[in-house]
Structure 1
Amino acid sequence: MHDIRLIRDDPAAFDAALTKRGGEPQSAALLALDERRRTTIAAAQDAQTRRNDLSKQIGQAKAAKDEARAQSLMTEVADLKAKLPELEEQERAIGAELDAALAAIPNLPAADVPPGADEADNALIHTRGQRPEFAFPPAEHDAIGPALGLDFETGVALSGARFTLLRGDAARLSRALGQFMLDRLTQEHGFELVQPPLMVRDEAAFGTGQLPKFAEDLFRTTDGRWLIPTAEVSLTNIVREAILAEEELPLRFTALTPCFRSEAGAAGRDTRGLIRQHQFDKVEMVSIVHPDRSDEEHERMTACAEGVLDALGLAYRRMLLCTGDMGFSAARTYDLEVWLPGQDRYREISSCSTCTDFQARRMNARFRPAEGKGNRFVHTLNGSGLAVGRTLVAVIENYQQQDGSVAVPAVLQPYLGGATVLGAR
């Protein structure tokens, strides 16, 4: 959500930032609405002031026994009394129109975000890890997976396309990955473990930017709630309508939850395997921080996600997304892309974003500075630490063996009863 006062102060800078994101300039239309609202507010205030003055004059006229003047003044007061509700309703209507217009505009990009239209314009930050070498042509996970317990056919039979049933070793490996990620984030990086609701109200989905623009990407329940597309929605809204003490910051939350996405804009994309599912598990990270620390926290959060990949021995690269590839609420986003030898390409496995005060304004989440007056909006950040299904894919493809089995990374073996190999023997 944007502050109309900041747009008033520098409309050219606001339009330039929108243009960088590929949008059209909007300050003129927004400021016209703002001027109408302010004019209506001023008219209502003037009418109320005039009404109060006239009420005093009526008393004076009656004291002077000037009934004609008193009657004239009373008639004017009655007219103003009838006019005030009309002006107040106009103010509400114009204010709602302005709020809706502001709510539909994405966050402005940080200064270091490269301009661009799509993923082809993203910037490589670094590449880490060693790609595995195979003495045989590496297979994709959907070819190896059935022997481990990835049951694509039953998943589709039960629920339709983009659903998969995990059985046996595949289910065990998925659970081990999720628990391993949570243990790292809570024990080594100070994130608080949360088990949040999987369904949220409109206000929560609006707060993190899913509503109103992206309703078609969500699943809705029969009673009007929304299934979370990521635990970011539940975790970030923990501070909704809150005024925190500065000493409470930073707050860091993590959760492992199912996530639900309709994939409305992904028809025909990644229909095979686990890459793009309607239901998937993900470990989410959310940080609520002082505005002066959000850039530092963005680097820290991304490094936490990279640490999971390092520990699993997976090769990956960090990309800085261009303006055209960022999400609606993000001011800057790093994507981590893991190497998948079966596909012979890098694929996204984590996305870490700083949203500055964009979500905080939508949620009215503030903090009370230790020094100085006035409450300030917090900054919010979110990231995947990691997407469990895609990490499962990465482990299967990178640790596959010629007999169809999968070697277990050393850090996961304690979570699997010491097993070193899964699948075919």
Structure 2
Amino acid sequence: MQQDDLPYLVKFPDATGQFGRFGGNHYPPQVWPALEELTSTYLSLRDRPDFQHDLDTVRVGLQGRPTPVHFLRTTTAEVGGARIYIKREDLNHTGAHKINHCVGFALLARNMGKRKLIAETGAGQHGVALAAAAAYFGLECEIHMGEVDMVKQASNVGRMRLLGARVVAASAGQSALKEASDAAFSAYIEQHEHALYAIGSAIGPHPFPMIVRDFQSVVGKEARSQFLSLNGGQLPDHVVACVAGGSNAMGIYSGFLDDPAVTLHAVEPLGTSDETGKHAATLSFGTPGTLNGARSLVLQQEDGTPSKVSSVASGLVYPGVGPEIAMLHEEGRLKIAAISNNEVIATFFRFAKSEGIIPALESCHALAFAIKLAERRPPSETILVNLSGRGDKDVDFVLNEFRDADGPAR
């Protein structure tokens, strides 16, 4: 079989971890042996029946997979355009898609003889998921989180601690996701002999983007099969996901990357404006650079340091994207959109009142764009959105900060 005929997930990344001109390994040399050990272990395990059996068992029993695809009947009727469906990753145990790769990393750690998992978290969903996976497999867990996000997502901090994790505050810079990633990386360098870095998204040096994407591909595989069953064998016309690092996006995209007729949409946080520091829309405004150990697109200042970024959604406050997302964008496989904070909050209230679903603020970016897309597409077309997480974590923050944004009560 010629290289061009291979399935996408087999072709990328290449043996050195490159996604086109993006990716690779830009971590310090002292960590290379640990990354090489992780790469070889993962490649030897991922197709082994016993490893897959263990993974599937945890996904069913602990996570509650498969998650359903659900037709948004009320919203579709209100919009009057294309039909909107959602993949209900919010129904996973711990409330988001993050647990898909957290249980995978925990299994890898157990097979590698590691006794501890280290990670960063933004909104706290990855931290809670990793803490749950660590507790299930009897591993120690250390989560680094920005001080700002610890205040904003206090309920998730409590959940992590309840599950046995040590939560470490990152106080440098913006005290947000990027700083938490830096702190977690430093901790990993110091502890890599007995700990595994369970990175929070499809970012970082090889093999992390590949591993996270592969573990998250369960979303795309399920969604594809479920959608075909619901729609008489027809694929969706559009697949939509919010994008920062890219774990939820690559998860659902993976089911449709070899289908050129399916348009893939990447929805970014526009924040309050397109001014520097007021958004986190890397695909729209970023340039090539190196961040957290990989070459990708980065929002950066003239001296090459990462720009300050902003979003109402803590999980999207990141000045870069994963290298695979950067490649897909450069190749024209993704259509890019940006959604403002105001649109996100309006969507949060709309879905609670119209659909009985409280979506995470991160997911509201994708949902808000899907509504706008549906309005300009005919009823014959279909849109599939990855509802990547539930908004329980956001309720107190939204009601305290935006209590007047939802209009009159019904």
Give TM class, smaller chain: under 0.3
Q: TM-score normalized by structure 1?
A: 0.24
Q: Give the TM-score, by structure 2 length.
A: 0.25
Larger radius of gyration: 1
